[in-house]
Amino acid sequence: MTKTLRVLVIDDNKSDRALVIRELRREFSQVQVQEILDASDFEQAIANGNFDAVVTDYELGWSNGLEVLRTVKADFPGCPVVMFTNTGTEEIAVEALKSGLDDYVLKASSRYIRIPAAIRTALERIAIQQRAALLEIRLQRLLNQIKVGIFRSQLDGTILEANPAFLELLGAESLAQVNELNLLGAGNGYNQLADLQPPQQQEREVRLYKNGTRFWALLTTTLNTIEGVTVVDGLLEDITERKEAELQLQQLNVTLETRVWERTAQLENANQELEAFAYSISHDLRTPLRVIQGYAQILLKALGNSLEADKLTYLQRIAANAEQLDILIEDLLTYSRLSQGEINVEPVPLSQVLTEVLAELEPEISKRQAQIEIEKVLPIVQANPLILLQVLTNLLSNAVKFVAEGVQPQVRVWAEQREERIRLWIEDNGIGIAPDKQQQIFRPFTRLHGREEYPGTGIGLAIVSKGIERIRGQVGVESQLGQGSRFWIELPAVMESL
């Protein structure tokens, strides 16, 4: 729905008024005209104020166009006034425009047509001005409320304008004070700003003063050119809290790092001492043990036949236990040697290591009549040959050992390429391992069976796990109780052929 346009038409000449009204009606679909004939009509209209635009003649019997214009604009600055006359001079026109006249039309028959267009343009312009004023008010309100300081300065750091938050941040009463005390600090990188090209932006964390106390601020500056003059538009934000938290965190990190480092060093030290201790004990135990073993053998040989049965059994037990202890010490020494010293890795052909493993396990294999099937062509891996030999010897020895009585051990070994790694599988038809026990068997001394059933020290898989860890590989097992086991190790593949 279009709004009705209410127009005051002020002219002493009836036919001139009629011409204006005709043009207005032609242009605006809904127009309401009030004709003003004298001073009292005009006064009344101004008092009522119910009009949106004014068209006035310059020459009036009771006043003149300039007076009308000033009266209207005084009370209704947003109301367009269009003047038309045949007597007005250029000076009058200039004077009238200065007083806020929206348009000026000469009184000639061809010109009447311009009046409605002049009103329309003036109305539109006023609407735009009003919207701009409203925006300006809203912007000002925003600038006043915002906690971030906003300012514009010269290149030398002299602040030209700023919002209240800016003054508040610096604890200043006025811009003059900011400039006088140089609160933003002209030294704050302003000189570097000159090197920038508009509209380049710069962000700096600076330390400023507020009432003598230092605080951290984020200063964001943009170089702009406004009407040919280079200025700096800036934002100033108090970041003290964030900065302090950051500093605290940094401090904490440093302390934490030092503490972790100290602790690690202590632990490593303790570990090394413990390992050295375990090693020397194992080593020292060996000598007396060898003596016991030696004498037991001598006694067995010398007295074996003459001893009574139970005494012979005691002697045999001493010998058997001493031997078992010897194996345990040997295993412990292997394990603790694995934890010490540097370990070098090199390309190692898996088939070569497996051949050595088979040779080492030959007695057990023939004793159990085990069937071992090893894939013909096996890849080369990155490993330490000695450690890999220990690892595979333990895995294969277990595969042959943990098989139910009366069952022929059947072991299958094959490799699988997994991206840049090789996974070697050792599958047996043994007694299997319950899933909930599969983690713990890799810890030292964990055994799931009695020694009578299956001999062993419980250190084999610990050697496997430690050894694999030292050559940066991985180990795992897939198994179900009673359904055989599949152990695997994974190591980096060596691509080039040796």
Contact flags string 412-451 toward ligand ADP, x per CB under 6 A: ----------------x-xxxx-------x----xxxx--
Rank residues 295 and 488 by Cβ distance to ligand ADP and give the closer one. Answer: 488
Of 56, 384, 393, 485, the one binding ligand ADP by CB under 6 A: 485
**Could you tell me if 152 and 232 are in contact, meaning their C-beta atoms sit under 8 angstroms apart?**
yes
3-state secondary structure of 266: helix
Quick one: which of 204, 216, 229 has its CA closest to 153? 229
- Is 335 a binding residue for ligand ADP by CB under 6 A? The answer is no
Neighbours of 490 (CB within 10 A): 18
Query: Dihedral of the CA atoms 47, 51, 55, 60 (nearest 10)?
Result: -20
φ/ψ bin of 228: left (φ > 0), alpha (ψ from -120 to 50), beta (otherwise): left
Task: Using CB under 6 A, count the residues that bind ligand ADP.
Answer: 22
Residue 465 phi, psi (nearest 5): -65, -45
Contact flags string 252-271 toward ligand ADP, x per CB under 6 A: --------------------
**Interface of this chain with ligand ADP, residues 54 to 83, rule: CB under 6 A:** none
| Piece in contact with ligand ADP (CB under 6 A), picked from 73-81, 257-265, 275-283, 460-468 | 460-468
Rank residues 220 and 339 by Cβ distance to ligand ADP and give the closer one. Answer: 339
- Is 398 a binding residue for ligand ADP by CB under 6 A? The answer is yes
Quick one: which of 382, 384, 380, 364 has its CA closest to 372? 364
**Interface of this chain with ligand ADP, residues 378 to 397, rule: CB under 6 A:** 394
- Is 370 a binding residue for ligand ADP by CB under 6 A? The answer is no
Quick one: which of 202, 224, 229, 221 has its CA closest to 150? 221
Of 88, 157, 456, 473, the one binding ligand ADP by CB under 6 A: 456
Rank residues 62 and 414 by Cβ distance to ligand ADP and give the closer one. Answer: 414
| Smallest distance, ligand ADP to C-beta of residue 440, A | 9
**Could you tell me if 378 and 349 are in contact, meaning their C-beta atoms sit under 8 angstroms apart?**
yes
- Is 150 a binding residue for ligand ADP by CB under 6 A? The answer is no
Strand order in the sheet with 5-10: 31-36, 5-10, 53-57, 81-85, 103-106
3-state secondary structure of 99: coil
374: part of which helix (H) or strand (E)?
Answer: strand 371-374
| Smallest distance, ligand ADP to C-beta of residue 251, A | 47
What's the CA gap between 321 and 319, in Å, rounded? 6
3-state secondary structure of 408: coil
| Smallest distance, ligand ADP to C-beta of residue 416, A | 19
| Smallest distance, ligand ADP to C-beta of residue 311, A | 31
What's the CA gap between 68 and 78, in Å, rounded? 15
Contact flags string 461-480 toward ligand ADP, x per CB under 6 A: xx------------------
What's the CA gap between 435 and 476, in Å, rounded? 12
**Interface of this chain with ligand ADP, residues 306 to 325, rule: CB under 6 A:** none
| Residues at the site binding ligand ADP, with contacts judged by CB under 6 A | 394, 398-399, 402, 428, 430-433, 441, 446-449, 456-462, 485
